[in-house]
Homo-oligomer: A and B are copies of this chain.
Amino acid sequence: MAVGMCFRKGDVIFKQGDELAYVYVLTQGLVRLYHLTVDAQRQITGFLGPGDILGGIKRSAETYCTAETITDVEACGFDRKGFIEFVHDHPDLCLNLLVAATDEIEAQYVHSILLARKQATRRLAAFLLIMARRWQSPGEDARTVRIPMGRADIADHLGLTIETVSRVFGQFKRQGLTELRGPKTVILKNMPALYDLAGFEDFPERHMAMGL
């Protein structure tokens, strides 16, 4: 029933409009989920990593988003129909999935709040803090954030342009809030100031993400 799967960096796991055949559990790597609008704007609805679920059980099997790998990815694929039956027969699993889905709704609330706030500094500060909390390695310094995705990905996730993202990164550096070790590693030197900029003290902890 479960199938191991490997994808190369840049591969498309499924495409907007596809009939979803599998439900995936990611074990390694990073995936971006995005929707393309008719005027070719790309909105990245989320990033998924190890432990996250890709391709939920919704009414329609047709996907609204494209899932594309950012790095090499390993995943466990479950046949969609079989998965639904399995979930139906296992109340505990079903309830856990319901909780996970509900937590995901809340995570989307947080992101909506981010997008609705106009200022770019707020969006980026919040993004950095969320990233820091979500994928910090146990042994690693909590203030060191690895950002595997490029500037275009960040921009399309936060509703900004590449240029603005880059400028705000520069601004943070000049203000001594961060330090850049190359474009993909950021050290948060002044967390309180960043929390202040982001404008929220607390946001719900995210245990497992779901992407559709």
Chain A residues with a Cβ under 8 A of chain B: 35, 37-39, 41, 43, 45, 56-60, 64-65, 84, 87-89, 91-92, 94-95, 97-99, 101-106, 108-113, 115-118, 158-159, 199-201, 204, 207, 210, 212
Complex partner residue of A113 from B37, B56, B200, B201, CB under 8 angstroms: B37
Q: Indicate how many identical chains form the complex.
A: 2
In the complex, which residues of chain B have a beta carbon less than 8 angstroms from the beta carbon of A94?
Answer: 91, 94-95, 98
Complex partner residue of A38 from B102, B201, B204, CB under 8 angstroms: B201
Distance in angstroms from A18 CB to nearest chain B CB is: 14
Complex partner residue of A159 from B108, B111, B115, CB under 8 angstroms: B115
Query: Given contacts A58-B103, A199-B39, A204-B60, are A84 and B95 in contact (CB under 8 A)?
Result: yes
In the complex, which residues of chain B have a beta carbon less than 8 angstroms from the beta carbon of A106?
Answer: 58, 64, 212
In the complex, which residues of chain B have a beta carbon less than 8 angstroms from the beta carbon of A199?
Answer: 37-39, 41
In the complex, which residues of chain B have a beta carbon less than 8 angstroms from the beta carbon of A97?
Answer: 98
In the complex, which residues of chain B have a beta carbon less than 8 angstroms from the beta carbon of A91?
Answer: 88-89, 91, 94
In the complex, which residues of chain B have a beta carbon less than 8 angstroms from the beta carbon of A117?
Answer: 37, 41, 43, 159
